[in-house]
Structure 1
Amino acid sequence: MSDSCEYIICGGGTVGCVLACRLSHAGHSVLIVEAGPEDYNEQIMSPVAAPHLHGTQFKYNMMTVEQPGLGGRSVPNHGGKLLSGSSGINYGLWTRGHSVDYDAWAELVGDNRWSYKNMLKYFKATQTHYDPNGSPEKYGFSGPITTTAAARTYPLRETIRESMLVAGLEYNPDTNGGSPFGFGPFTENWKDAQRQPASKAYDLSKATVLTNKAIARIELNESKTATGIVLIDGTRYAATKEVLVTCGALKTPQLLMLSGIGPQSHLAQHNIPTIANLPVGENYHDKISATFFWKLKNPEKGYALGSPAFNKPEFRHGNPMEWVATISTPHEELVKAAQADNLDLRDPYLQEPRGNVEVMIAYAPIAGGGSEFRVPFDGKHISSPVVLLLPTSRGSITLASTDPTADPVLNPNYLGTETDRAAMRAGMRLSLQIMEADIASGIVEGETPLPGYEPLTSACSDSDLDRRMQIVGSSFFQNAGTAAMGTVVDTQ
């Protein structure tokens, strides 16, 4: 291949694959460089094998520093290390997000192009919506990513649906249509019971693809313009137009800082000359999760994964879930927490209900990474993961060394604000209320707590919930913020 092209894309994840496809099909010469392999083996393509990919060569298997909000524990974090990035190894949830979040984002950066209304055409262009009778005003029907929802009927389908209604949730058949509130079908992005990695969904045949090649740094000229890259083996490639950095929230700040773009004081600690003094790696945040396990009264009926009777072939076509609920933090609790955090009460976060937390019911004892508490996958338990959707806690990613292959230092500062803890409490109480409904209590004996601890109920204290979060809280592997629009990059 030539050592020069118009565009060099650093990182072959979802964004890198989309850009490589679009630019190369528009007639440009494009090089996309990925540190991991290209692989579509059975385990990667399976919609139920994601848990088995933790710790493999297809991931950056990192650990955070000790987290005070998690009782001083250090917990795992992951990102995809293969062509397709995390779209090649994740759990396949398909969530568009709340329209208010995009509008607040657009207002914050002063560019209305990032509003929900103006982003909608791109959302629609991305997808082939699972319901051909869905609204064409909200969804696309000819995009590269096919979605699926409620495609499998599990034994507890109606039991959980009724329990969510009893817990006060309203049914929302359109949770990906701009307002996620209530509960609705659990939406995924499998196609024909197979994963859709970005490098398959987006045609890269007209781009040059380099895999198993780690980038040491970006080269910049005297005018601070990126002119190319250097691999760790010393090979150089030049870009006549642009170098695009799409390495994800964990590795992008590392590459930028190794190239002299980052906080000057931190770069000086590693003897890296500062080319641009920018808050790279700051503003780091990640979603946190906590899970309850529920012991079934009659596991022999095949209610959960691991039971011999939980055996329909279609159950292997996706995650063992049917419903997902989204709620806001009760306003009084939110304001009280915001005051404790000295949050400006005029902040958009407080002005109207936001999708602060998500609750799912899994027909398996699914738990997030980092918690040592597990129960066997023997068909005797289901679970209810709770996920913080809008973390206000902020941490940082910094360099451990100047070695491009070394892990950076991850400090997400999980649950560092009272606002985040209040949101998680609300989600955990809802999770408990769902399983306390009469119809649900007919199929579960109760919560299975950690050894030495009492089961929790929705009437438990805040401190009980906080203590549980410290023990079982873990990453949901949705990292963000480390090269933020408005501080590190502009809206272009």
Structure 2
Amino acid sequence: MNNDYDYIIIGAGSAGCVVATRLLQAKAGRILVLEAGTKDSSLFHTIPATVIKVFQQKSWPYMTVPQEHCNHREMILAQGKVLGGGSSVNGMVYCRGQRQDYDLWASEWGCDQWSYQDVLPFFKKAEKNESLADEYHGQSGILPVSENRYRHPLTLACIRAGQQMGMNYVNDMNGWDQAGVGFYQTTTQNGERASTSKTYLKSVEHHPDITIVTDALVHKIETQDHQATGVTYSIAGQATVTALVRKEVIVSAGAIGSPKVLLLSGIGPKQHLDKLDIQCIQDLPVGENFHDHLHMSVNATVTTQNSLLGEDHGLKAVRHFLQWRFTRSGLLTSNILEGGGFIDTNKHGRPDVQFHFLPVLDNFDNTPGEKTAAQAHGLTIKVGHVQPKARGYLRLSSKDPNALPIIDPNYLGHQDDIDANIRAVQAGLRLLQQPALKAIVKEVIEPANIDPDNVDAINKWMRQNIKTVYHPAGSCKMGNEPKNSVTDQTLKVHGFQNLRVIDCSICPQVPSGNTNAVAIMIGERGADFILNH
């Protein structure tokens, strides 16, 4: 077996699949893709509405340390562990964040090559949008972006309520202005999930120059004289193999996996590596600047008895499956998070809170041992602040590559995050008071019996009920100085000519919204840097 490659990509997730595809299209050389998870061959990866099942089955079981500001709860922070990564298990919402996010990367974070005008061409390059065709959208990319075909009556009621509360109805949350309420566009096509594995990677899977290895756990990146020379990994727990690299090693293992791989390879804070007896090759703030989006579920039972409760059982489930199987239509084409919106609760001129509407009581990702939602017909308004200021860190727990890292996101560790998430809950409760929802809401059960103006009661409830939206970012932050960043603006790790990080871990500040589209844009931009710079 010829075990040397031009490029080795660690992680076949949202960004890694993009990089591999673009390098092959450019005939850049032989590529090895290493994915710790399995193949995405299960039907659950194809049917959008089975997002809950697939997420629970195909994820890294990451947990945080007890969170000081969240009643010392240990919290789930699962990440996709499968070909396609997050794009194979996520809610399929296509969201880029706000143009201001990227302009602030340029002005506040020193990343002057990453303004909105710099990144917009790469969002468009990726995108194959079925309905939007203005200056903000692309139609000839690899990633299908679609209108949702199934619209649940409870989602429609939430969207009407948003308008009654003063929000504009919008068809595009990815244009010049994100503010408003409406239906999310989704990364689906013909009633099927469109992950980067099923779109990008599938377009090159038979290419003679690509080798995709699943069940491959990376032990370390081999380096010599500040050159990456190869990657040592094991398949399904067997003996280690070292693949050699001629051109570049690309780390695309996500905001938890990428720092872990760098730390195991001796790239990171010297003090931390010394404690674990790992030789420090490059002293960089790997694992710092770790942050994430949070949300809470504002839950209400409804009189209409038409939520999704029970639709996945018995004859109903059979009927839905047959409809999907033969017509690619109906409930199973729904991403469940069909509608939502962005609202400016702080009057700062741009939205700071995001809504996701669920036509069922959200009971999907409660930490084990915590209370479960009532088995009743209801709806959920997921609410959360989208510009977190708190920063935490990621560390290795041991030298063993099988060991899960220590993750402390320091959730709610900044007063602005506390205030904004309280405003998010207030907005959710006020939404439930609008005529479109008041007409069908039986009882608000989470938070129960709390007035929207009772800040103290909301604060107390929030600390017990807040949880991740699975958007970790920032742990291999890009910048210009090795003392406060891990990569430069072309995503090269400081001190190395041929080692890059290409995923959401490079974000100095997570963009305002869901992060899958962001990871794909970073993949497109990173591939462009490799090929053209």
TM-score relative to the length of structure 2 = 0.82
Q: Quote how far apart the aligned CAs of 1:114 are.
A: 1.2
Which runs of structure 2 are paired with 1:120-199 in the superposition (5 Å)? 120-131=120-131, 134-199=132-197
Q: Quote how far apart the aligned CAs of 1:111 are.
A: 4.4
Contact 1:370–1:475 at 8 Å: present in 2 too? Answer: no
Q: Which amino acid aligns with 2:478?
A: M
Contact 1:70–1:473 at 8 Å: present in 2 too? Answer: yes
Q: Which amino acid aligns with 2:127?
A: Q
Contact 1:34–1:213 at 8 Å: present in 2 too? Answer: yes
Q: Which moved more, 1:276-285 or 1:62-71?
A: 62-71
Inter-partner Cα distance in structure 1 for 2:157 and 2:227 = 59
Q: Which amino acid aligns with 1:398?
A: R
| Cα distance change on mapping 1:227 and 1:375 into 2, 3 Å | same
Q: Quote how far apart the aligned CAs of 1:112 are.
A: 3.7
Structure 1 residue 255 and structure 2 residue 261: aligned? Answer: yes
Inter-partner Cα distance in structure 2 for 1:388 and 1:323 = 17
Inter-partner Cα distance in structure 1 for 2:415 and 2:457 = 15
1:116 maps to which residue? Answer: 116
| The one of 285, 288, 291 aligned to 1:285 | 291
Inter-partner Cα distance in structure 1 for 2:336 and 2:20 = 34
Inter-partner Cα distance in structure 1 for 2:356 and 2:408 = 27
Contact 2:10–2:16 at 8 Å: present in 1 too? Answer: yes
* Cα distance per residue 1:270-308 (max 9 Å; x no partner): 001111100000100011110011111231xx2444369
Inter-partner Cα distance in structure 1 for 2:416 and 2:231 = 42
Contact 1:54–1:61 at 8 Å: present in 2 too? Answer: no
Q: Quote how far apart the aligned CAs of 1:354 are.
A: 3.6
Equivalent residue of 2:258, what SS?
helix
1:16 maps to which residue? Answer: 16
| Cα distance change on mapping 1:321 and 1:480 into 2, 3 Å | closer
1:337 maps to which residue? Answer: none
Q: Which moved more, 1:169-178 or 1:419-428?
A: 169-178
Contact 2:148–2:334 at 8 Å: present in 1 too? Answer: no
Q: Quote how far apart the aligned CAs of 1:109 are.
A: 4.5
Inter-partner Cα distance in structure 2 for 1:491 and 1:92 = 28
2:251 maps to which residue? Answer: 245
2:92 maps to which residue? Answer: 92
1:204 maps to which residue? Answer: 204
Q: Quote how far apart the aligned CAs of 1:236 are.
A: 1.0
**Identical positions, percent:** 28
| The one of 395, 399, 410 aligned to 1:413 | 410
* Cα distance per residue 1:58-96 (max 9 Å; x no partner): 210111100122111101111111121111111111101
* Cα distance per residue 1:105-132 (max 9 Å; x no partner): 122454443111121111111111131x
Q: Quote how far apart the aligned CAs of 1:377 are.
A: 5.2
Inter-partner Cα distance in structure 2 for 1:279 and 1:157 = 43
Q: Which moved more, 1:281-290 or 1:438-447?
A: 438-447
Inter-partner Cα distance in structure 2 for 1:61 and 1:470 = 22
Inter-partner Cα distance in structure 1 for 2:90 and 2:342 = 21
| Cα distance change on mapping 1:157 and 1:219 into 2, 3 Å | closer
* Aligned residue pair count: 461
Inter-partner Cα distance in structure 2 for 1:92 and 1:150 = 11
Contact 1:290–1:367 at 8 Å: present in 2 too? Answer: no
Inter-partner Cα distance in structure 1 for 2:156 and 2:224 = 62
Q: Which runs of 5+ in 2 are unaligned?
A: 324-329, 480-484, 491-533
Q: Quote how far apart the aligned CAs of 1:457 are.
A: 2.7
Structure 1 residue 216 and structure 2 residue 219: aligned? Answer: yes
* Cα distance per residue 1:341-380 (max 9 Å; x no partner): xxxxxxxxxxx534321012210112462452322455x1
Inter-partner Cα distance in structure 1 for 2:60 and 2:112 = 35
Inter-partner Cα distance in structure 2 for 1:464 and 1:74 = 22
| The one of 442, 463, 482 aligned to 2:475 | 482
Contact 1:373–1:472 at 8 Å: present in 2 too? Answer: no
Contact 2:91–2:337 at 8 Å: present in 1 too? Answer: no
Structure 1 residue 361 and structure 2 residue 375: aligned? Answer: no
| Cα distance change on mapping 1:282 and 1:426 into 2, 3 Å | same
Q: Which amino acid aligns with 2:360?
A: A
The CA RMSD over aligned residues, in Å, is 2.0
1:342 maps to which residue? Answer: none
Equivalent residue of 1:76, what SS?
coil
| Cα distance change on mapping 1:416 and 1:109 into 2, 3 Å | closer
TM-score relative to the length of structure 1 = 0.89
1:306 maps to which residue? Answer: 310
Inter-partner Cα distance in structure 2 for 1:363 and 1:278 = 45
1:79 maps to which residue? Answer: 79
Q: Which moved more, 1:1-10 or 1:109-118?
A: 109-118
* Cα distance per residue 1:121-153 (max 9 Å; x no partner): 11111111131xx33311111211112234223
Equivalent residue of 2:17, what SS?
helix
